[in-house]
Structure 1
Amino acid sequence: MKILNTLQYKQFGGLEKLSILLCNELCKEHEIYFLSDLAIKDYLSKDINFINFNFNKNRYNPFFLKKTANMIDEISPDILQTHNIKELQILNYARKFSKQKPPIVNTKHSLERKKYLNLADLVVGVSSGVCETIQVDKKILIENGYPFITPKKLSRPHKFYITFANRICDAKGVTLLIEALNLVKFDYECHFFGYGDSKIYEEKVKNLGLQDKIKFKGFVKNIGDYLYSCDLNVMPSLNEAFGLSSLDGVFYAPLMIATRRGICETIMPNELIIEENPQFIAHKLDEIHANYDKFVQIFAPIKAKKDEFSVAKMAQKYINAYENLIKDFKK
């Protein structure tokens, strides 16, 4: 199968990671073309046909759309895969100029209600919560998958070692976790990993006198190694459609606690769920520190299910969806 995947690159987050993981898996057995910004190219398999494409151009410009249509005709894909509304609009409008009119699949990664989803021939929701926001008839659920990479033990702080691995912003609970850490009763060191402007949070940490305990490490490619080396990973998200970062925790951390958001709502037991207030989280952290082995055992059955979220299973579900859609188009 020949698949044309598009990705309007803004910053490296869960959507970008998912698109790359999916295509890197699909290219093992299928011909993949990937339209995006050059910033993405180094993350892609060498077997993927990368095309530098500027999605910031006017989506209503007929010359741009005709040029895009000519590119589609030259590639002659069986399916068009998009990941946001602007990509979907561009390919749908360009398809009107195209000699070939392959079906479009759009994957919805957010909980926000979106217009124009009806332009897609099939909409994929990455979680049951996301599917509830998709108001079109032709939709399916395909939960995100993740590849497991054997982790390595790293040198780590000698204190109780806590990690946060997600985008650095309030929507992911950064302020919430900092305020909770200010209330705990044991000695620890917490490292925040991820993209985002950490300056405002570093100032808050300094004002609380926690600069020796809380450190911002930025984005790292080997986050699995750090999670594997920690005592506890915390996912205090206030907004999460699915949460690929949650799978990082499941795959690699010895123990994780999380808010009832995204995939954590369905896979995490109540003992490992945290409420969205600092006092509750601080109390849970104190409880875990005092009864660590007990909570590791509670988390163990969750870790044992990691194969359910393999990227190979996710990719096969996409292929099945593509094949069924293509059959419908040929009727």
Structure 2
Amino acid sequence: MPLVIHVVPAPDGGGAERLVRELTERLPGHGVQAQAIYYRNPRGVELSEGESSLGLRSVRGLGAWRRLRGALRERGVGDGTCVVHAHLTWPLYHLALLRREIGGPMVFTEHSTHNRRRENPWFRPVERVVYRRYDRLVAISEGTREALAGWLVDEDLSARIVTIENGSRMLPLVQREPRPSGAARLISVGSLSPQKGFDVALRAIGALGDRVERYTIVGEGPERGRLESLVKELGLQGKVRLPGYCDDVASYLHEADLGVIPSRWEGFGLVAVEALSTGLPLVASDVPGLRGVVADCEATILTPPEDSAELENRLRYAIEHLVGRDNVSGAARSRAERFTIDAMVARYAEFYRSL
């Protein structure tokens, strides 16, 4: 049975971490042994038998690299019999430095269409060297693949990219009734970071006035203070909730009438699939990665990113024409079912065996 060792900074956080945990749990059912190494576990997430944490305080620097190197040696990596699979920035760089010691196939998954490294074109030659250390590159969407190929501008590296779309859990479907008051309950889920564009959504919510009963943003991150200040500036204290991080968002999605995904960029849009699986209609940014998930779905409306005025218009339309409609709920669930976890795991199992 092939062995795959995933390396990712933590067991919780976003789509990359969730993907690793799902693969580690489910791949053995497809004939592929899987383990996961996390640099740290700050929230004390309960780990399974195949998962372990290095107990680091920081993911940066040579100290983290040395600890990771030791952990791989303890697992017998180096005889070429296993696949080592990196996720996110620090594992990408640390494992690239261990290329000769690992010996066997190395894989990196690209989880986003954008990162800060790509804001500096002088960094491109360094990235090419790093990515060449990997035998194959996985993109979680066609938009992510196109963005990575466009950044590297290297035919050999582009040929190494394979697209394996993310899969999501299917949450219980609920039927939402039209709101008697005409005011909708809106929800967004994601890290409180500039990428997610929640500041844009707050300005749109402020302009919608009584058309919105409540707006809940489920997540945590460095932008909390800035968002809280914006809520006060817009006079939305009684309408906006910021409950923090929640691993199980089903209850929040079930009590909402409309989802809002105002991201400035997205690699895929796992939150979109989860929301759609409950029958929730969405207004989402028209950006690569996310567009491939929700475009041409009767339950979704796309909107230009970073445009609060246009977001306001499309939220208003969605509240009037999508909320509480039976055909919308069915269309949402049908779209979500294109992106199941089982299909994703089967693709990865086939991919690992090909290596």
Sort the Cα spacing of 1:219 and 1:40 in 2 relative to 1 into closer, same or farther, 3 A.
closer
State the Cα distance separating 1:306 from its structure 2 match. Answer: 2.0
CA pair 65-31 structure 1, distance change in 2 beyond 3 A:
closer
Matched with 1:213 is 239
The corresponding residue for 1:251 is 277
Give the structure 1 partner of residue 215 of structure 2.
190
Alpha-carbon distance in structure 1 between the residues aligned to 2:96 and 2:289: 31
1:128 aligned residue (142, 157, 178)? 142
Question: Which of residues 137, 144, 160 in structure 2 aligns to 1:138?
Answer: 160
Aligned to 1:175: 199
Tell me if 1:304 matches 2:308. Answer: no
Q: Is the 8 A contact 2:264 2:287 kept in 1?
A: yes
Task: Give the equivalent residue in structure 1 for 2:34.
Answer: 32
Residue equivalent to 2:90: 86
Q: 2:257 pairs with 214, 231, 234, which one?
A: 231
Contact 1:27/1:47 (<8 A) preserved: no
| Alignment partners' CA distance in 1, 2:35 and 2:265 | 32
What does residue 70 of structure 2 align with?
A: 67
1:119 is matched by which residue type in structure 2? R
Q: Which of these residues, 283, 295, 318, is aligned with residue 268 of structure 1?
A: 295
Aligned partner of 2:124 in structure 1 is: none
Deviation at 1:21, TM superposition (A): 2.4
Q: Note if contact 1:255-1:295 (Cα within 8 Å) is conserved in structure 2.
A: no
| Whole-Å separation in 2 of the counterparts to 1:290 and 1:307 | 26
Shift of 1:169: 2.3
Provide the secondary structure at the position in 1 that maps to 2:16: helix
Letter in 2 for 1:196: G
For residues 204-240 of structure 1, the C-alpha deviation after alignment (integer angstroms, 9 at most, x for no partner) is 1112111111111111122122112210010111111
Label 1:104 to 1:53 Cα distance change in 2 as closer, same or farther (>3 A): farther
What's the Cα RMSD here? 3.1
Q: Aligned residue for 1:8?
A: 9
Task: Give me the TM-score of the superposition, normalised by structure 1.
Answer: 0.84
Going from structure 1 to structure 2, the CA distance change for 1:319 and 1:53 (only over 3 Å counts) comes to: farther
Give 1:280's match in structure 2, choosing from 304, 307, 310: 310
**Counterparts in 2 of 1:279 and 1:228: CA distance versus 1, 3 Å:** same
SS of corresponding position for 2:84: strand
Q: Determine helix, strand or coil for the equivalent of 1:323.
A: helix
1:196 counterpart SS class: coil
Percent identity between matched residues is 19
Give how far 1:75 is off: 9.1
Q: What's the counterpart of residue 329 of structure 1?
A: none
| Aligned equivalent of 1:56 | 60
TM-score, normalised to structure 2, is 0.79
Unaligned runs of 5+ in 2: 119-126
Q: Which moved more, 1:181-190 or 1:115-124?
A: 181-190
Q: Which amino acid aligns with 2:267?
A: A
Counterpart AA for 1:129: G
CA contact (8 A) 2:301 2:318 kept: no
> Contact conserved, 1:89 with 1:119, CA < 8 A, in 2?
no
Structure 1, unmatched stretches of 5+, are 326-331
